[in-house]
A and B are shown apart, each in its own frame.
Chain A
Amino acid sequence: MRAWSDETMERARSLVASYPEARSAVMPLLYLAMREEGGSLSDDGMRVVADLIGLTPVQVKAVASFYTMYKRHVGRHLVSVCTSISCHLLGADEVLTAAAAEVGVPVGGTAADGSVTVEGVECIGACGGAVAVQVDYEFVEGVTPDAARSLCRWLIDESPETVHSDAMQERFGGRTAFDWGSEDPTEAVGPMPAFGPYGTAGGA
Chain B
Amino acid sequence: MSDLILTTLMTEHPTDSHTLSRYEAAGGYAALRAALGMKPEEIVEQVKASNLRGRGGAGFPTGVKWGFLAGGGERYLVVNADESEPGTFKDRQLLERDPHQVLEGILISAFALGVHRVFVYVRGEYSRPARRMQAAIDEARGAGLVGDDVVGSGYGIEVSVHLGAGAYICGEETALLNSLEGRRGEPRIKPPFPAVEGLYALPTIVNNVETLANIPWIVTNGGATYDSIGPEGSRGTRLFSLSGHVERPGNYEIVMGMSWRELIYDVGGGIRDGRDLKAWIPGGASAPWFVPEPHLDTPVTNDDVGRLGSMLGSGAVVVMDETTNVVAAALSIVKFFAHESCGQCTPCREGTTWMEQILERILHGGGRPTDLDLLLDISDNISPGLRWPPVMTTICPLGPSAVSPITSIMRHFRGEVEEMVMAGAAHV
User: Within the complex, what minimum Cβ distance (angstroms) separates B4 from chain A?
Assistant: 14
Contact call A175/B249, Cβ cutoff below 8 A:
yes
- How many chain A residues touch B (Cβ–Cβ < 8 Å)? 60
Tell yes or no: B165 within 8 A of A by CB.
yes
Contacts of B88 in A (CB 8 A): 123, 125, 127
Contacts of A62 in B (CB 8 A): 184
User: Within the complex, what minimum Cβ distance (angstroms) separates A173 from chain B?
Assistant: 14
Tell yes or no: B332 within 8 A of A by CB.
yes
Contact call B184/A125, Cβ cutoff below 8 A:
no
Tell yes or no: A186 within 8 A of B by CB.
yes
Q: Mark each residue of chain A from 132 to 159: 1 if its CB lies under 8 Å from any CB of chain B, else 0.
A: 0010011100000000000000000000
- How many chain B residues touch A (Cβ–Cβ < 8 Å)? 69
Contact call B128/A126, Cβ cutoff below 8 A:
no
User: Within the complex, what minimum Cβ distance (angstroms) separates A191 from chain B?
Assistant: 12
Main secondary structure of the interface of B (DSSP, over half): mixed
Instruction: Indicate whether A139 sits within 8 Å of B128 (C-beta atoms), given known contacts A84-B86, A178-B93.
Output: yes
Contact call A89/B320, Cβ cutoff below 8 A:
yes
Residue from the list A69, A70, A184 in contact with B128, Cβ < 8 A: A184
Q: Which residue of B lies closest to A200 (CB)?
A: B163
Tell yes or no: B191 within 8 A of A by CB.
no
Q: Which residue of B lies closest to A195 (CB)?
A: B130
Contacts of B161 in A (CB 8 A): 195, 197
User: Within the complex, what minimum Cβ distance (angstroms) separates B138 from chain A?
Assistant: 8
Contact call B134/A197, Cβ cutoff below 8 A:
yes
Instruction: Indicate whether A28 sits within 8 Å of B162 (C-beta atoms), given known contacts A126-B89, A127-B86, A137-B125.
Output: yes
Contacts of A196 in B (CB 8 A): 131, 134
Tell yes or no: B54 within 8 A of A by CB.
no
**Bound-state Cα–Cα, A181 to B93, Å:** 10
**Bound-state Cα–Cα, A69 to B170, Å:** 13
**Bound-state Cα–Cα, A66 to B240, Å:** 31
Q: Chain A interface: which of B15-23, B42-50, B62-70, B141-149?
A: B15-23
Contact call A86/B318, Cβ cutoff below 8 A:
yes
Contacts of A198 in B (CB 8 A): 163
Q: Chain A interface: which of B103-111, B174-182, B391-399?
A: B174-182
A-B residue pairs in contact (CB < 8 Å), sample of 28: A24-B180, A24-B182, A27-B164, A27-B182, A28-B162, A30-B165, A63-B184, A66-B342, A67-B165, A69-B166, A70-B165, A80-B125, A86-B243, A122-B84, A122-B168, A123-B87, A123-B168, A125-B125, A126-B92, A127-B249, A138-B127, A177-B89, A177-B249, A184-B128, A188-B127, A195-B131, A197-B134, A203-B131
Partner-A contacts on B (CB < 8 A): 10, 14-18, 83-89, 91-93, 96-97, 117, 123-128, 130-132, 134, 160-168, 179-185, 200, 241-245, 249-251, 281, 285, 316, 318, 320, 324, 328-329, 332-333, 335-336, 339-340, 342
Partner-B contacts on A (CB < 8 A): 18, 20-21, 23-28, 30-31, 53, 62-63, 66-70, 80, 83-86, 88-90, 121-130, 134, 137-139, 165, 175, 177-182, 184, 186, 188, 193-198, 203-204
